[in-house]
Homo-oligomer: A and B are copies of this chain.
């Protein structure tokens, strides 16, 4: 069931059959399905649950008092939403869906128990968390320094490579189910300018975007044009770096 998630974790470590089985059990517990543009629950119980996206796209966002919205992270299939982190009191940031989404609501107790019995899972979860933090920092760079074209190109590279990591690309194309307004909120640009920028990327042949279908004919070229380097996604880890990544006293 959580094949994207498993596939992602295996980018980093090798899971045993028992590991995989344990994770599948956990995911089966409580499945939820919601439509597009809905908020995934986060009050009260939020501290006790983690959400694992099985299908569809979601995002973490913050809404300012005057209505401006900033998307600070995209959640793709296989991503864990650490909803539990800071929603303790004020829940300043929310998690909402962009498309219809199927996700598993996992109680932290359950996940904690599994992780305790399966060290590799624990390590993989850690890796995932650290990568998410790294992505967050890269978004800061993206918003702070890159021009609209670079910025959007950078995002498309990231999304494509992340989707690739969970087996959701085919050759040089993938889906891009977001609205241009969603992209605008993520990039800190207006929808009009997102549109202009997409045209520009299309015009220079760096992307082909028809409806929800995105094709990147020459990923290396798009990367170069966007000053994108994939290192921050840390896909180059394979097992032996485990010890270096493992956090304090597990």
Contact = CB atoms under 8 A, between A and B. Distances in A.
A232 interface: yes
B144 A70 contact: yes
Contacts of A86: 130-131, 133-134, 232, 234
A185 B145 CA distance: 8
A245 interface: yes
Contact of A188 (B111, B125, B143): B143
A234 B89 CA distance: 8
Interface in A66-101: 66, 68-70, 72-73, 84-86, 88-90, 92-93
A237 interface: yes
B245 A88 contact: yes
Given A88-B237, A241-B88, A140 B248 contact: no
A227 interface: yes
A65 interface: yes
A244 B88 contact: yes
Interface string A33-65: 000000000000001100000000000101011
A185 to B, nearest CB: 8
Interface residues of A, number: 58
A86 B66 CA distance: 36
B111 A248 contact: yes
A176 interface: no
A88 to B, nearest CB: 6
A215 to B, nearest CB: 26
18 contacts: A48-B244, A65-B227, A72-B141, A86-B133, A88-B234, A88-B245, A89-B231, A90-B231, A90-B236, A93-B232, A115-B249, A122-B248, A133-B136, A136-B140, A139-B140, A143-B144, A145-B188, A249-B250
- A-B residue pairs, 6 tightest by C-beta: A144-B188, A90-B231, A112-B249, A143-B143, A116-B249, A70-B144
A229 interface: yes
Contacts of A130: 85-86
Nearest to A184: B144
Given A85-B133, A236-B89, A115 B231 contact: no
